[in-house]
A = this chain, B = another copy of it.
Amino acid sequence: LSADVNAPIVQYVARPQILDLGWGHPTPATLPTDAWAQAVQVTLSTYGWQAMTYGRSVGPGPLIDWLAEHIGTVDSQPCRTSEIFVTAGASHALALVGQLLVQPGDVVLVDAPTYHLAFRIMRDAGAELVSVPTDDQGVDPGAAEALICHLRRTGRRVSMLYLVPTFGNPTGRSLPAERRSSLVEVCARADVTIVEDDPYREIGFDGPAPGSLWCHSERSGIVRLGSFSKTVAPGLRLGWINASAGLITKLATLGYVDSGGGVNHTSALTMATFGASGAYGRHTDMIRRQYRLQRDSLVAALRTTVPDVPIAVPAGGWFIWMELPGGLTAAELLPVAEQTGVSFVEGPRFFCDRAGGSHHIRMSYSMLPPADLTEAARRLGVAIESRG
């Protein structure tokens, strides 16, 4: 698991003394190196030069076709090929959507808490971020509408609302179905584009995931970001956007997309092979079992090692969001925890204004094997106990 220090390759930094629940990265052993090498070989021999030259702007036909069928199955609703644009990952998708929809100085509303690294992407597009009102179930649609009206009365442009509504980062929770419909209606009325970041949908442990906001909508005024980073491998830099055919055309005619012949052609065509061959289905079945096992290990251990803390068990995704007991803050706990050999991400990082989450921590069970998760929970219990 160690990277060469003189020529670092990966984002992950190993700290040998610490079981680090801070990384939202895949379990290394699950990454499909052999199956991907095989898919590359098949792709290059099947498509030859077409796999390596300038590609189609929206993405190669075979991947768009496979995605349309696959998304239709996942959503239990048909997906049109005209509503798909292949991206270099969900972060890249968010950067492109921000470039098209956000004018410098616009307000972009963001869930609170939500995926912290998305903040900088939207700020790079010139957005001013404002937390949307939430409660324990997630975004409150009525309060969101009131906030949008208030901001507009003060002369602000409000262009987008960003959230991860399904098996979300950092909470692991999903927005209830009635709020989904209601939020879609509110934003359609207010002409605010919903950006639904949806990378965890296919990592559900207890039956099908809640229907996407995209499927709750009339399929305009909403952009859904799909990703292969959690289901296959983040290093491939592949994902997709579901949006209206009009927005897809705007994406495909961006100067850089047109000049480059799509954003990641060879890898995208390889993913078509990986999907059509059945490797995608086999791989996602395997990782669902694996991540379920890891979730179960961490949840079971925490129930023993921090018995006084109620654990909201995530039905999918990679994360547990835990409130610390006895008024303890994440900032107080972190140095003690690291001394005890365990780490996590402090709650405030997931609020755009850092105004919430001071008593919460995010723990990821995605990267460590079950035995390490059990030991990490033990160390966390010791650290919390020592501050009690």
Contact = CB atoms under 8 A, between A and B. Distances in A.
Interface of A: 3-4, 6-12, 25-26, 28-29, 31-34, 36-37, 40-41, 44-45, 47-57, 60-62, 64-65, 88-89, 91-92, 94-95, 99, 104, 117-124, 233-237, 254-256, 258-267, 269
Oligomeric state, in copies: 2
Contacts of A11: 53-57, 261-262
Contacts of A55: 9-11, 235
Contacts of A37: 40-41, 44-45
Contacts of A60: 7-10
> Which residue of A57, A120, A256, A265 has the most chain B CB atoms within 10 A of its CB atom?
A256
A259 B121 contact: yes
A155 to B, nearest CB: 20
> Which residue of A28, A33, A117 has the most chain B CB atoms within 10 A of its CB atom?
A33
> Which residue of A55, A56, A121, A264 has the most chain B CB atoms within 10 A of its CB atom?
A264
Contacts of A65: 7
Given A49-B33, A52-B36, A233-B52, A266 B267 contact: yes
B49 A31 contact: yes
B12 A256 contact: no
B121 A53 contact: no
A44 B54 contact: no
Given A94-B256, A120-B255, A121-B255, A61 B237 contact: no
27 contacts: A7-B65, A8-B61, A9-B55, A9-B56, A11-B262, A12-B53, A25-B53, A28-B53, A31-B49, A32-B52, A36-B52, A37-B44, A41-B41, A52-B234, A53-B235, A54-B234, A95-B255, A99-B124, A120-B255, A120-B259, A123-B255, A235-B269, A237-B262, A237-B265, A237-B267, A266-B267, A267-B267
A7 B318 CA distance: 35
Contacts of A91: 255-256, 259-260
A52 B33 contact: yes
A263 B11 CA distance: 12
> Which residue of A12, A44, A51, A255 has the most chain B CB atoms within 10 A of its CB atom?
A255
B263 A61 contact: no
A177 B239 CA distance: 44
A117 B52 contact: no
A243 B172 CA distance: 41
